Structure 1
Amino acid sequence: MSLDRVADLQRWQDSGAHWRVLTRTADSLTISLLRCDGGEEVDRFTSGDPRLLEFVGTRSSSEDPEQPG
């Protein structure tokens, strides 16, 4: 994956796969990338990219509604 975690996560989500926040701190997230059926973990990453924090917002997974804005 590239270093643009927002683009990576958006592509993952757009392809029908799922993601879940595993850990959240004030300045970073650890995200699990899951298969399309929401089952097996394929990969995970930790990032403190402010753009990623904004993209994910308060959601805990790709199944939560996106926040406006």
Structure 2
Amino acid sequence: MLERWEASGGHWEVLVQRGDWIEVALVNCDGEQMSRVSSPRTSVLRSYLDGRRVSTD
């Protein structure tokens, strides 16, 4: 989902990480938060984030 968001020109920012749970803001190109997504922090997601807090890192 984050890859699709980036491919369409958006950015994301990690808002909260608690144990195995993560909350991410989906932000448009103007910096406006469009949505917020909460999810278990799976190994695939952990690998994709690779320690980044924002998509522009």
Normalising by structure 1, we get a TM-score of 0.72
Pick closer, same or farther for the CA change 1:61–1:9 going to 2, 3 Å: same
Structure 1 residue runs of 4+, over 3 Å off? none
Rounded to whole Å, the distance in 2 between the matches of 1:28 and 1:57 is 15
1:25-66 per-residue CA deviation (whole Å, 9 max, x = no partner) reads 2212100000113x11000111114121221121000001xx
| Aligned partner (choices 42, 47, 62) of residue 55 of structure 2 | 62
Question: For 1:59, what is the secondary structure of its paired residue?
Answer: coil
TM-align CA RMSD: 1.2
**Which one has the bigger strand percentage?**
2
Structure 1 residues without counterparts, runs of 5 or longer: 1-7, 65-69
Are positions 1:29 and 2:19 aligned together?
no
| Identity fraction in percent | 38
2:38 paired residue number = 46
Normalising by structure 2, we get a TM-score of 0.85
Aligned length: 56
